[in-house]
Amino acid sequence: MIKNDLFIRALKGESVERPPVWMMRQAGRYLPEFMEIRKEFDFFTRCQTPELASEITVQPIRRYGMDAAILFSDILVIPQAMGIEVQMKPNFGPYIPNPIRSQKDVDEVFVPNAEEALNYVMQAIKLTKEKLDDEIPLIGFAGSPWTILCYCVQGEGSKTFDKAKEFCFTQPIAAHQMLQKITDTTIDYLKAKIRAGVNAVQVFDSWGGMLSPTDYQEFSWKYIQQIIDALKGEAPVIVFGKGCWFALKEMSVSGAAALGVDWTCSPQNARYLTGGNITLQGNFDPSRLLSPPDEIKKMVTQMIDDFGKDKYVVNLGHGILPNIPIENAKAFVDAVKEYKSRSY
């Protein structure tokens, strides 16, 4: 049994004394202890070495005591497992030397046995579970099929993902085949993670907001829905679609346990759009962690009041930035732990 089960209870919609807190990208780049590891090992070595990945996962828990840990990894381990070369270039980001641009390219991509191809992730989960010793839950994650396709086709990060959209709109048959291959791999991967011991999973649709509401349904949401359906009863699924407030109503009846919200959607609107029936997660602007600690605490308290303490997980509206002072991250977590509901 997990000793601190606030996070799991919030995902189930149970009443809690205070909401749980964790931060997207909490394991990593803003922590001095992470920087020490980064000096010695490159990005994918850190992902592919279970001892390093598990150590990085628990670093923020030791320092701040969040209510959930999220496994240190990357969404692009999926295309790597599918036979697509992915590099992580310093001061540049992800780079795919041979992007997917044609039906022939799609035909060459294979659906692997995720447990075998990504065994290092499963080993990292087992090591992390030992270190956590059932104190708090562990979250596993994957990118949404659309977000993975964006990188595979574009070949690198982008502000518009114009090549990815062009591929979908000019070669829709090839695009849907690619999306289905990614979906099948992702389902297999997340199921393997659950077997290895994660207590919940999150699907990151980082680039869903690049699509119009109509295109979002066709090229992103229907594949996320497949993932939710496949994991039903196995573990709670959180869906975070950045910039996807327009889909919150449909997401709320999908069977997902919780929905992530970014900072462009107010708590009131998020509750309204989802009918108040589902756990929400978010939505503090990561840049706001540059505010003074006292101000951060006030804003976090107000955010909890606005969402309500139940059916709510305190988080950022996207990943924590590398330049956030460690005392400011502490103020964010402490504000939640110190929270006293005005009605409780």
CB count within 10 Å of CB 130 equals 11
Q: What is the DSSP string of 176-245?
A: HHHHHHHHHHHHHHHHHHHHHT-SEEEEEETTGGGS-HHHHIIIIIHHHHHHHHHHTTTS-EEEEETT-G
Catalytic residue flag (residue 63)? no
Catalytic residue flag (residue 46)? no
Selected catalytic residue, list 9, 25, 63, 101: 25
State the virtual CA torsion across 44, 48, 49, 54 in degrees, nearest 10: 100
Selected catalytic residue, list 9, 38, 63, 101: 38
Catalytic residue flag (residue 288)? no
Q: How far apart are CA 286 and CA 319, in angstroms?
A: 7
Q: How far apart are CA 253 and CA 154, in angstroms?
A: 32
Catalytic residue flag (residue 30)? no
Selected catalytic residue, list 30, 46, 67, 74: 74
Catalytic residue flag (residue 38)? yes
Count of positions (residues) in the chain? 344
Selected catalytic residue, list 9, 29, 63, 101: 29
Question: Binding site residues for substrate, as ranges?
Answer: 25-29, 44, 74, 151, 206, 318
Determine contact, residues 291/282, Cβ cutoff 8 Å: no
Question: Binding site residues, as ranges?
Answer: 25-29, 44, 74, 151, 206, 318
3-state secondary structure of 302: helix
Active site amino acids? 25, 29, 38, 74, 151
